[in-house]
Copies of this chain bind each other. A is one copy, B any other.
Amino acid sequence: MAAPTPHDASAEVGDARSSAVKSAARTLQLLEALAERGGVPARLAELADELGAPRSSVHALLRTLAASGWVRTDPTGTLYAIGLRSLLVGTSILDSDPYLRAARPVLAALRDRLGETVHLARLDGDRVVYLTTQESGREPRRIARVGRWLPAHSTSLGKALLAERGDLPTGPLAALTPRTLTTPEALAADLVRTRERGYAVDDEENTPGLRCIGVALRYAHPVLDAISCSVPVDRMTPERETEVASALLAARTQIEDTAPVQGVF
């Protein structure tokens, strides 16, 4: 699992009612099942059980996936592991997404200006997925968050997006720390304050010791992306919060001005 959180928000792939192409849905389920195992090989029977599909069906699919390079097999052909194609396809977004490309230099400058780690994340259902991180050199250890996700309601990024969009997560609000907002009422109230303030605040709601400020990027309608800055609690005074927030808002404007016009949704 790439997820640092206990709750897996991924929907069932196969539960689409009527007009779903069965083998396509199963192909994706297979990739997800293999991904969760990492490099650990899987046997046909395990995967068939996991998908709830006959062995023979899964067998044909796995041969197809293997032939296309998305799945690797051992020399005997009875063990399967996810191939590198999925990594290449997955990370290709990071190289080619035009918004990300526009945002990256601005984020680097922002990191240098504030001396703190900054992120850009995109909403995916009830969670935010980190697309790029510019780290300050000051952190004790490097936490590369690209490709990871957190529940939207527990992050400044997610709350900035929810405030701008005006909706609430559909699922339950998992508690990652004692300070996570776990009721719709508390979250809604926080979103009101967020709109008033003009930026979102996460006060150790997903990671103890870390306070974050986030703002949404408004080039998409409804908004999808947001940027944030994480600051250790002992460096985050009220004056510092204002300083960070105004730097983020300036960066927001800069990104929105340089971002492509058409596009993301």
Contacts and interface: CB of A to CB of B under 8 A. Distances in A.
Q: Is the interface of A mostly helix, strand, loop or mixed?
A: mixed
Q: Copies per complex?
A: 2
User: Which residue, of A13, A14, A89, A149, has the highest number of chain B Cβ atoms within 10 A?
Assistant: A89
A91 B21 contact: no
Interface in A12-31: 13-14, 16, 19-21, 23-28, 31
Interface residues of A, number: 73
Contact of A88 (B27, B65, B147): B147
User: Which residue, of A40, A41, A86, A125, has the highest number of chain B Cβ atoms within 10 A?
Assistant: A86
A148 interface: yes
Given A36-B92, A265-B41, A147 B87 contact: yes
Given A16-B67, A137-B137, A91 B2 contact: yes
Interface of A: 1-3, 10-11, 13-14, 16, 19-21, 23-28, 31-32, 35-41, 60-61, 63-65, 67-70, 72-75, 79, 81-100, 122, 124-125, 129, 131, 137, 146-149, 263-265
